[in-house]
Amino acid sequence: SRQNIGVIGLAVMGKNLALNIADHGYTVSVFNRSGKRTQELLAECTTNNIEGYFSLEEFVQSLERPRKIILMVKAGSPVNDIIKQLKPCLTPGDIIIDGGNSYFADTINRSRKLEAEGFHYFGVGISGGEEGARRGPAIMPGGDVGAYESIGQILTDISAKAEGEPCCRYIGGDGAGHFVKMVHNGIEYADMQLICEAYSILKGVMHMSPSDLHEVFKEWNQGELNSYLIGITSDIFAKKDTDSDHYLVDMILDAAGQKGTGKWTGQVALELGIPIPTITGAVFERYLSSDKATRMEAGKLYGDCAKTKQRGADFVEPVRKALYASKICAYAQGFSLMLEASRQYGWKLNLSGIAKIFRGGCIIRAQFLNKIADAYSDDSELKNLLMDNYFKTVIENYTQAWRDVVATAVTSGISVPGFSSALAYFDSYRTETLPMNLLQAQRDYFGAHTYQRIDKEGTYHTQW
Ligand code: NBP
């Protein structure tokens, strides 16, 4: 009998996903460009549910129809290469599923082409890294809703479960799944940056050691900040270096890497006209950090040009509040971006459902996603999370502490692009009268761009 599903690409993600699918009782055929990875997987696995193939044609022939083939290859041209090689072996109705981190616009193009040729194409965001792929990732499938019936059960079975619910649900047409995964990663950038700023402040103004910080984050993880990222941060602060008598975190070079999904989120936000300053700020801060040599030079040039404020133990709680309030703004930005993309691309995204998917398997999994899910299930047309009652109450209660923390950091010369951009986002968002009357006057002055008036209808131009 033929196999239920195929996986192409057996690096970290594909291999673990194949094992996960096999664990759930499905039979899986696997193929990799270089046979070595296939041999390794076959040698390593103990299940009878996996069959390895060394020819793409035989691999395709081994699958039941409609064929379901998951690609877990590097994003970009490898996906095009594989599709090109696969097509002659396929039959109309077969389903190609790209589970990698492809750019959503590429997915839209591939999807249109293949659907026109009679095939089905899914762009599926899969989050959770190696461990997620093996034990249950968050899964965001985008593609033809009819074809989803053939793959939905398998994807749901292998996904993470949060509070008993699968972290997988149909997201929308063509690029929707990859778009949502991209925004997930953008939010992840912001979330990580905000945690790093909390660390920077606590270290800077309270001289906390890694073991103090371990305790602080451990406690924070018991409350409303409870999340995977806060949990691993607490673990990280407890880890001693094996090559020195320091904590490992103190021995790690402060130059951040990235793979580009944060950058894409920023680019798309600029195109769609949605402000996400805390997310883009996090991307920029990684860029800034990566040139350590120049920062060292500038550090010598400017020396100590700010006087560090000293704060006592009662400053931990304001920092926690500032972190939570900033985090709310970062998520508000990411969800606003999805709302606008949903409108412009016609995806009809269910933002409550998406918040629920993020609760398990993925990097930003957190308690507070339940609050976001509630906000959008109470009002699916909600313009911004800041307009929701629960979040309004938190921000109102925390805003004084938040301002105090940002002011302390700024006075002390501690860079807090995340905390401060989130606060500025909130302040701009809630300000009825921004100084853009002046900006409109400037535009009209030098470019005759015209302006509108507050007291009467029409478009005006002045000879300044
Ligand atoms: P990589 O992104 O490192 O890709 C390696 C795989 O791509 C290998 O199987 C390789 O085959 C195959 N490949 C390449 Br490269 N070029 C190819 C081509 N022209 N034709 C056919 N196959 C080709 O693997 P990964 O880290 O497992 O990630 C897979 C996907 O999942 C990526 O899109 C990634 O962004 C995404 N993702 C990764 C993570 C993570 O934590 N790593 C998390 C979430 C999503 P070879 O063995 O013959 O070189």
Model pLDDT for residues 99-141, shown as the tens digit of each residue: 999 999 999 999 999 999 999 999 999 999 999 999 999 999 9
pLDDT in tens, 369-420: 999 999 999 998 899 999 999 999 999 999 999 999 999 999 999 999 999 9
- Tokens 């990859």 correspond to 178
DSSP single-letter state for residue 64: P
181 lines ligand 1 (CB under 6 A): no
Alpha-carbon 175 to chain mean position: 15
Cα 425 to its chain centre, rounded Å, is 19
Report which residue type is found at 149.
E
- What is the per-residue pLDDT for 381? 87
- The CATH code for residues 181-430 is 1.10.1040.10
| Euclidean distance between CA atoms 247 and 209, whole angstroms | 9
Distance in Å, CA 78 to ligand 1 centroid? 8
For CA atoms 151, 155, 157, 158, give the dihedral sign: positive
| CATH code of domain 433-464 | 1.20.5.320
Class of residue 410 by CB neighbours under 10 A (exposed 0-12, middle 13-18, buried 19+): middle
- Whether 433-464 and 5-174 are alike in CATH topology: the answer is no
Catalytic, 456? Answer no
Q: What is the pLDDT of residue 357?
A: 97
H helix or E strand, kind and range, residue 375: helix 369-378
Q: Which strand ranges, in their side-by-side order, compose the sheet holding 95-98?
A: 50-53, 28-31, 5-8, 68-71, 95-98, 120-127, 138-142
Question: What Å distances lie between residue 431 and 420, 424, 436, CA to CA?
Answer: 16, 10, 12
Hey, where are the domains in the chain?
A: 5-174, 181-430, 433-464
159-187 pLDDT, tens digit per residue, is 999 999 999 999 999 999 999 999 999 99
Give yes or no: 188 in active site: yes
d(CA 172, CA 140): 9
Q: Would you say the CB of residue 82 lies under 6 angstroms from ligand 1?
A: yes
17 lines ligand 1 (CB under 6 A): no
Specify the residue with its C-alpha closest to ligand 1, atom 41.
129
Given the cut 0.85, state whether the ipTM is greater than it: yes
Question: Which CATH code fits 5-174?
Answer: 3.40.50.720
Phi, psi of 98 (to 5 degrees): -90, 105
* In the predicted structure, residue 260 carries a pLDDT above the cut 90: no
Structure tokens at 303: 């020396």
Whether pLDDT at 1 is above 90:
no
**Across 86-90, average pLDDT:** 97
The pLDDT tens digits for 203-257 are: 999 999 999 999 999 999 999 999 999 999 999 999 999 999 999 999 999 999 8
Q: Is the separation of the CB atoms in 160 and 378 below 8 Å?
A: no
Report H helices in 45-100. Answer: 56-61, 77-86
Q: Indicate whether 30 pLDDT > 90.
A: yes
DSSP state of 225: T
